[in-house]
Amino acid sequence: MDAFEHDGFRFDKGPSLFTLPYLVDELFALCGENAEEHFEYQQLETITNYFWEDGTRLATYSDKNKTAKEIEEKLGVKYAAIINYFERSDKIHKHTAATFLEKSLHKASTWLTNDVAQALLNISALGLTDTLHSLNQKHFSEPKLVQLFDRYATYNGSSPYQTPGIMAVIPSLEFSQGAFFPKKGMRSIVDSLVSLAERQGVKFSCNSLVQEINYNENKQVTSVLVGDSSIEADTIVSNMDVRPTFEKLLPDISTPKRILNQEPSSSALIFYWGISRKFSELDVHNILFSEDYEQEFEGLFKSKKIYADPTVYIHISSKINGNDAPKNGENWFVMINVPSATLGVETIDIEAVRITIQQKINRILKTKIEEHIVCEELLTPSDIETKTSSYAGALYGPSSNSKMAAFLRQPNFSSSLKGLYFCGGSVHPGGGIPLCLLSAKIATSLIPEA
């Protein structure tokens, strides 16, 4: 979650959608501060604009009723069927959030609660026996709408044809709790929390390479080696991808098989384009869908090849903050999902993919986008791995392409070393801003009070 500037354009490098902002607000409240005085965000009225090759366009909104009316008008699906789908998503969230998102799945105490009992009573509604795609097909016969709701599998880097139907919970986060955008860009989430931490006495040592986590004969962590300095600690929390945490920082501890055997989530290829004109048909979040979604995901997770007609995501923060681009210009964050950089993946032909994306944009928006690109930066799966230590450049750690994926994620604590805890997108409960914050909350709850 970083940002940079190029020729007068400001770009957020990574995440672009902000949900569950109360998790940030809560940190300020816990420290006795008012979040509004330090961190500003706004709810998006229009969440996403969707485009198909045949000219179909529709928008989704923070107002569920408005979204249902839009879908009924543009796709001919009954309003009541859309509302029913949203209600089911809300029901899944109600019966799973307290257990699957807010607590450790690897502690017996989690399962001896009323929340679990209620979830078990409603297990038939949770979609555990379906894939997300098959569940969506049971609700809708309109293929474009199935594709739209299948897209939510990408929120954790998975395939709708493999991930369980319980992932239908994700729309509830957008349509019942809202989609938001920080007024100063996504990077301001980091900046505001760093400032908050510093006011609480936290000391940061940036640009300092952590080389090893040390422990004694009792398997109790004792220190962290940073450069030539050893920092003593009997409690250590690693926010690094859990696989390199074991392989690089704990070379004498066997990496758990559950980590080695997990399939990485999808990665991304991102073009950051400074655009010399404005596009009124686009909003903050925009999706240009592929013609064959199933083939696209076949390439992502099986053949490990970029599909010839990938879905294109365009994020434009200057739609909200005009200072992010020069006058009459826009800052485009243009992303496609690509296979993670695991062994055997072909080298990406950047020029070919660039042309493919530009041609798709030109067809759908009736433009010649290459004539309006005044600057460009690039982020590849290898860049992501190098810059963030995310294994294989995966955006969300392990994928959720199996019914047991949630249980196979690394717990928020170490079973081999006392005093070692984990948070971040590669461990429970998963990747993405809200889940990373929840992982920290879970890890914190497991650390004994001094």
pLDDT of 403 reads 78
pLDDT of 127 reads 60
User: Which CATH number is 173's domain given?
Assistant: 3.90.660
Question: Phi first, then psi: what are they for 444, rounded to 5°?
Answer: -60, -40
Is 198 inside any structural domain?
no
pLDDT of 123 reads 54
* Domain closes at, from 367, 391, 415: 391
pLDDT of 253 reads 92
What is the tens place of the pLDDT at every residue in 216-236? 999 999 999 998 899 999 999
Q: Both 272 and 287 in a single domain?
A: yes
pLDDT of 158 reads 95
pLDDT of 99 reads 67
pLDDT of 298 reads 96
pLDDT of 341 reads 83
pLDDT of 120 reads 53
Q: Name every residue whose Cβ is closer than 8 Å to that of residue 172 and which is 6 or more positions away in sequence.
A: 86, 89, 90, 92, 93
Q: Both 180 and 209 in a single domain?
A: no
Residue 275 near residue 329, CB atoms below 8 Å: yes
Q: How far apart are CA 57 and CA 418, in angstroms?
A: 54
Whether a cis peptide bond, with omega within 30° of 0, leads into 429 is yes
Amino acid making up residue 156: N
Q: Both 43 and 63 in a single domain?
A: yes
Q: pTM of this prediction?
A: 0.93
Query: Is the model's pLDDT at 96 over the cut of 80?
Result: no
In 170-209, beta strands by DSSP E: 180-182
Average pLDDT value for the chain: 92
Q: What's the pLDDT band for 117 if we cut at 50, 70, 90?
A: low
- Give the helix/strand (H/E) hosting 436: helix 433-446
Is 196 inside any structural domain?
no
Q: What's the pLDDT band for 102 if we cut at 50, 70, 90?
A: confident
Mean pLDDT of 288-309: 95
Specify the pairing of strand 210-215 against strand 46-51.
unpaired
- Adjacent-strand bridge partners of 110: none
pLDDT of 129 reads 76
Is 191 inside any structural domain?
no
Return the structure tokens found at 272: 């950051």
Q: Both 51 and 133 in a single domain?
A: yes
Return the structure tokens found at 155: 């929120």
Is 396 inside any structural domain?
yes
Better-scored residue on pLDDT, 418 or 119: 418
Task: Give the DSSP letter of residue 448.
Answer: P
Q: Both 284 and 257 in a single domain?
A: no
pLDDT of 408 reads 77
Is 8 inside any structural domain?
yes
Mean pLDDT of 365-391: 95
CA 22 to chain CA centroid, Å, is: 17
Q: Both 35 and 129 in a single domain?
A: yes
Q: How far apart are CA 402 and CA 156, in angstroms?
A: 13
86-106 residues labelled b (16+ CB within 10 A) or e (exposed)? bebbbbbbbbbbbbbbebbbe
Residue 5 near residue 320, CB atoms below 8 Å: no
Is 192 inside any structural domain?
no
Q: Both 166 and 76 in a single domain?
A: yes
Q: Both 94 and 179 in a single domain?
A: yes
User: Which CATH number is 439's domain given?
Assistant: 3.50.50.60
Q: What's the pLDDT band for 347 if we cut at 50, 70, 90?
A: confident
pLDDT of 111 reads 52
Query: Is the model's pLDDT at 108 over the cut of 90?
Result: no
What is the tens place of the pLDDT at every residue in 398-440? 999 987 776 778 999 999 999 999 999 999 998 999 999 999 9
Is 193 inside any structural domain?
no
pLDDT of 405 reads 75
Residue 268 near residue 395, CB atoms below 8 Å: yes
What is the tens place of the pLDDT at every residue in 152-202? 999 999 999 999 998 898 999 899 999 999 999 999 999 999 999 999 999
Q: Which domain holds residue 399?
A: 205-262+392-446
Is 148 inside any structural domain?
yes
Name the percent of the chain lying above pLDDT 70: 92
* Domain closes at, from 345, 370, 391: 391
pLDDT of 261 reads 87
Specify the pairing of strand 236-238 against strand 420-422.
parallel
Q: Both 291 and 412 in a single domain?
A: no
What is the tens place of the pLDDT at every residue in 16-60? 999 999 999 999 999 999 999 999 999 999 999 999 999 999 999
Q: How far apart are CA 344 and CA 337, in angstroms?
A: 17
* Domain closes at, from 391, 414, 437: 391
Nearest to 88 by CA among 58, 47, 124: 124
Q: How far apart are CA 33 and CA 40, in angstroms?
A: 14
Structural domains counted in the chain: 2
pLDDT of 225 reads 97
Q: Both 165 and 290 in a single domain?
A: yes
Return the structure tokens found at 332: 């485009």
Return the structure tokens found at 170: 């994700």
Q: Both 300 and 439 in a single domain?
A: no
Q: Both 21 and 109 in a single domain?
A: yes
Query: Is the model's pLDDT at 210 over the cut of 60?
Result: yes
